[in-house]
């Protein structure tokens, strides 16, 4: 019997997700078996339509599979109730999007507070934690600014702070550098790998191999299936990722 | 998500769309203003009537003989009404004998529209005798005596009370009125059959009333006996009505029941009050339905505004769901927003309705004074009670919430991924 530390944090078993597009049935995910260990940094790469974003959304509980199992922390969220799925999104998962998805009328601080407000944390506590997180992201001076007053890199760092607000064990990033120039993209990837080094399980969807290189494990997808698994390169240089455990 | 945070978020979202929020709530404002004004008018008038009745004493029981209805088309104003069981002196004695009865007043009907004149000190002028039905006496304005005293409602009451207006019409000056009390007077009556008769009486007093004259029961009886040419008329036809005063409030309904079992019609002020309240309730509902119509239109406006808001904020809803908001959180947030639009309209509507009532309360007596019309009741027509305020605020909020449920439900059921992709 495996000990707790050896048990994978994510275990996907013959997972499929089909969409109906007019008369045809499209398999975005066509039978995937995958295990991801606690503290791993995994990149999902592949051409568009390969099912990498769908896979990320399934793990994040934003989508439900057509068949198969999604075990996260010992719970099969493929069969979980709506209530449990909301709980899963709120407590286990932090999402980082390509387009940041910050609420435009709210300040950086309020955006970071949001998941904690949803979680029912009292205002004083959540403000303190939001400030702390923004300082960690190097945005201590920008807490009162609205997204429109921040640069792309700053916005993405606010989004990362928001993703971390409820202390998730898994961070899911969908093309986190897609809207950034290469310099700020590198900066954001450094931040994410630093967080991974602190023990956070990281799954990044990207089509950019230089971004994927930061991960300890690169999973190539094509037509909803795993084409191959490679070791990352960048992680060895910086000493992070799966080897850092 | 905590309820306080839902409220705060809803308030922030409304504050971001001030113009739209205010415009949408105007419909609710108009509806609530109408309802508050109408209901406060209803409450005010009802209070006047209730207070008046209560001041008269709820321990009063009105007794009327049962009269068989004349066949339709055969109405004859000179016909003698024949009660099934007359309120004869014997019957009045039996009323007095009922346990709990303190005193009984009687009222005698007059022949319809007799032509008559009154002669005092050789001066003759026409008079009209005033019908004295007990309910009119209760609900009418109390008369003030300028001289002498008022006629009592006892069976042996004699004398005549003349109104100021009648005497002025006959050419008397104000200074002369006081001297009339106690003077001998002669009533001359002409019957339809052509006979003439005179009755001796005396002036009991002068009232400030606007109507003709009132005659004591004993004098009335003499007149009636001659008019119908029937010396036993009191025994056969009886009194027109009796007013029974009971010892206490608790006796009234029991005495009323006993009166019924004796074969008479009874009515207590409580039954009047109940009937009045029923009428006022119907009236209030009818008047308020104008406001309800406005609220119906307003609620459609709220639905529209909320659907727009949800369309605009689809992406925001997607984000909220991605970071862990439940469908219930989203539902509550938008329902509450709609409820607050309703509440805003309600608050403004209640305040305006209250102010409008205050203004009208001040203006209406002025207007009547200007017209020279004395007010039937004292001048508070619009009464806004705390129950009305609470009810109106609750109702306006409820209108908003009900209007918001459908849009909020749509928002709650949005697929998070589709919502996030929304531009």
Q: Is the CB of residue B14 less than 8 Å away from at least one CB of chain A?
A: no
How many contacts does A have with B, using Cβ atoms within 8 A? 60
CA distance A165 to chain B (A): 10
Q: Does B100 touch chain A (CB under 8 A)?
A: no
Q: Which residue of A has its CA nearest to B319?
A: A101
Question: Are the C-beta atoms of residues B213 and B160 closer than 8 Å to each other?
Answer: yes
**For position B379, what pLDDT does the model report?**
62
Minimum mean pLDDT among A92-96, A116-120, A212-216: which range?
A: A212-216
Residue A242's pLDDT is what? 38
Neighbour count for residue A93 (Cβ, 10 Å): 24
Which chain B residue's Cα is nearest to A122?
A: B2
Strand partners, A222: A225
User: Residue A209: pLDDT above 50?
Assistant: yes
pLDDT of res. B197: 84
Give CA separation, A225 vs A34, A40, A51, A230, B140, in Å: 11, 20, 8, 15, 95
Q: Is A90 in CB contact (< 8 Å) with chain B?
A: yes
pLDDT at residue B162, as a whole number? 84
Q: Residue B250, Cα to own-chain centre: how many angstroms?
A: 24
pLDDT in tens, A163-190: 999 999 999 999 999 999 989 999 999 9
| Chain A residues in contact with B420 (beta carbon < 8 A) | 62, 97, 101
> Would you call B1 an interface residue with chain A, using a CB distance cutoff of 8 Å?
yes
Please tell me which residue, B180 or A15, carries the higher pLDDT value: A15
pLDDT at residue A236, rounded to an integer: 43
Cβ–Cβ gap A103/B417 under 8 Å: no
Q: In angstroms, rounded to a whole number, what is the distance separating the alpha carbons of residues A202 and B285? A: 65
ipTM, two decimals, is 0.90
Query: DSSP letter at A146?
Result: -
* CA–CA min distance B341, chain A (Å): 20
Q: What is the pLDDT of residue B246?
A: 85
Contact criterion met (CB < 8 Å) for B320 and A83: no
Q: At what angle do helices B3-16 and B18-56 cross, to 10 degrees?
A: 110
Interface probe with A: pick from B315, B317, B321, B324, most Cβ of A within 10 Å: B324
Q: How distant is the Cα of A243 from the closest Cα of chain B, in angstroms?
A: 30
Question: Helices (H) and strands (E) in chain A — how many of each?
Answer: 8, 10
Cα(A168)–Cα(A88) distance, integer angstroms: 9
Q: What span, in angstroms and rounded, lies between the C-alpha atoms of B205 and B177?
A: 9
| Predicted pLDDT at B134 | 61
Distance CA B11, CA B351 (A): 21
- A97 part of contact set with chain B, CB < 8 Å: yes
Distances in Å between the alpha carbon of B205 and those of A20, B178, B201, B358?
A: 100, 8, 12, 41
Which pLDDT value is given to residue B143?
A: 66
pLDDT of B266: 85
Residues of chain B with pLDDT under 50: none
**How many residues does the structure list for chain A?**
245
Length of chain B: 423
Least Cα separation, residue B398 to chain A (angstroms): 25
Give the pLDDT confidence score for residue B112 in this predicted structure: 62
How close B26 comes to chain A (CA, Å)? 26
pLDDT of residue B287: 79
The 3-class SS string of chain B reads CCHHHHHHHHHHHHHHCHHHHHHHHHHHHHHHHHHHHHHHHHHHHHHHHHHHHHHHCCCEEEEEECECCCCCCCCCCCCCCCECCCECHHHHHHHHHCCCEEEEEEECCCCCCCEEEEEECCEEEEECECCCCHHHHHHCCCCCEEEECCCCCCCCCCCEEEEHHHHHHCCCCHHHHHHHCCCEEEEEEECCCCCEEEEEEEEEEEECCCCCEEECHHHHHHHHHHHHCCCCHHHHHEECEEEEEECCHHHHHHHHHHHHHCCEEEEEHHHHHHHHHHHHHHHHHHHHHHHHHHHHHHHHHHHHHHHHHHHHCHHHHHHHHHCCCCHHHHHHHHHHHHHHHHHHHHHHHHHHHHHHHHHHHHHHHHHHHHHCCCCCCCCCCCCCCHHHHHHHHHHHHHHHHHHHHHHHHHHHCCCHHHHHHCC
Q: Is A13 on the interface with B (CB under 8 A)?
A: no
- pTM for the whole structure: 0.70
Across chain A, mean pLDDT equals: 89
Q: Is A116 helix (H, G, I), strand (E, B) or coil?
A: helix
Q: Under an 8 A CB cutoff, do B319 and A103 touch?
A: yes
Q: How many other β-carbons are positioned within 10 Å of the β-carbon of residue B390? A: 11
Please name the residues in contact with B42: beta carbons below 8 A apart, sequence gap of 6 or more: B280, B283, B284, B287
Q: Give yes or no for B416 touching A (CB within 8 A).
A: yes
Enumerate the residues of chain B whose CB falls inside 8 A of the CB of residue A123.
5
């Amino acid at each position: 019997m495996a000990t707790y530390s050896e048990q994978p944090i994510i275990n996907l078993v013959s997972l499929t997700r089909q969409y109906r597009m007019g008369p045809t049935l499209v398999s975005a995910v066509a039978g995937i078996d995958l295990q991801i260990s606690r503290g791993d940094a995994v990149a999902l790469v592949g051409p568009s339509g390969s099912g990498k974003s769908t896979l990320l959304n399934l793990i994040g509980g934003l989508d439900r599979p057509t068949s198969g199992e999604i075990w996260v922390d010992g719970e099969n969220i493929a069969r979980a109730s709506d209530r449990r799925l909301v709980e899963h999104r709120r407590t286990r998962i932090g999402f980082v999007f390509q387009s940041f998805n910050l609420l435009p009328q709210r300040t950086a601080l309020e955006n970071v507070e949001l998941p904690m407000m949803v979680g029912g944390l009292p205002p004083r506590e959540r403000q303190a934690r939001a400030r702390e997180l923004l300082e960690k992201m190097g945005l201590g001076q920008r807490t009162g600014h609205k997204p429109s007053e921040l640069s792309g890199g700053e916005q993405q760092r606010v989004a990362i702070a928001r993703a971390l607000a409820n202390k998730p064990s898994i961070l899911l990033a969908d093309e986190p550098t897609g809207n950034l120039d290469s310099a700020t993209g590198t900066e954001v990837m450094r931040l994410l790998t630093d967080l991974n080094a602190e023990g956070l399980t990281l799954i990044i969807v990207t089509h950019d191999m230089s971004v994927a290189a930061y991960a300890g494990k690169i999973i190539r997808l094509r037509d909803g299936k795993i084409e191959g698994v490679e070791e990352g390169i960048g992680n060895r240089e910086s000493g992070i990722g799966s080897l850092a455990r | 998500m905590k309820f306080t945070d839902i409220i705060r978020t809803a308030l922030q979202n409304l504050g971001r769309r001030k113009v739209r929020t205010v415009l949408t709530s105007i419909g609710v404002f108009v509806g609530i203003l109408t309802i508050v004004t109408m209901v406060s008018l209803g409450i005010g008038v009802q209070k006047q009537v209730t207070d008046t009745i209560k001041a008269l004493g709820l321990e009063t029981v009105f007794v009327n003989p049962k009269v068989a209805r004349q066949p339709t088309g055969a109405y004859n104003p000179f016909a003698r009404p024949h009660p099934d069981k007359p309120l004869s002196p014997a019957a009045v004695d039996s009323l007095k004998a009922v346990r709990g009865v303190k005193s009984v007043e009687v009222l005698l009907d007059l022949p319809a529209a007799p032509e008559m004149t009154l002669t005092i000190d050789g001066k003759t002028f026409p008079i009209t005798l005033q019908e004295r039905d007990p309910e009119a006496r209760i609900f009418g304005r109390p008369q003030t005596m300028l001289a002498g005293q008022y006629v009592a409602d006892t069976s042996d009451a004699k004398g005549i009370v003349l109104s100021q207006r009648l005497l002025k019409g006959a050419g008397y000056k104000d200074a002369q009125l006081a001297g009339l009390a106690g003077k001998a007077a002669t009533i001359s009556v002409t019957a339809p059959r052509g006979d003439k008769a005179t009755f001796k009486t005396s002036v009991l007093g002068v009232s400030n009333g606007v109507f003709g004259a009132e005659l004591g029961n004993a004098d009335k009886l003499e007149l009636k006996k001659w008019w119908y040419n029937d010396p036993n008329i009191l025994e056969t036809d009886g009194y027109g009505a009796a007013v029974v005063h009971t010892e206490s409030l608790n006796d009234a309904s029991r005495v009323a029941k006993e009166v019924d079992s004796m074969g008479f019609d009874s009515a207590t002020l409580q039954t009047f009050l109940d009937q009045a309240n029923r009428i006022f309730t119907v009236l209030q509902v009818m008047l308020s339905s104008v406001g309800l119509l406005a609220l119906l239109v307003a609620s459609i406006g709220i639905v529209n505004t909320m659907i727009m808001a949800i369309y605009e904020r689809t992406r925001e809803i997607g984000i909220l769901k991605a970071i862990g908001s439940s469908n219930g959180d989203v539902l509550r947030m938008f329902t509450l927003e709609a409820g607050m639009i309703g509440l805003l309209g309600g608050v403004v509507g209640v305040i305006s309705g209250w102010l409008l009532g205050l203004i009208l309360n001040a203006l209406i007596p002025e207007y009547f004074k200007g017209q020279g019309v004395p007010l039937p009741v004292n001048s508070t027509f619009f009464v806004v009670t705390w129950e009305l305020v609470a009810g109106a605020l609750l109702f306006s909020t409820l209108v908003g919430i009900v209007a918001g449920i459908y849009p909020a439900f749509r928002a709650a059921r949005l697929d998070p991924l589709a919502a996030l992709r929304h531009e």
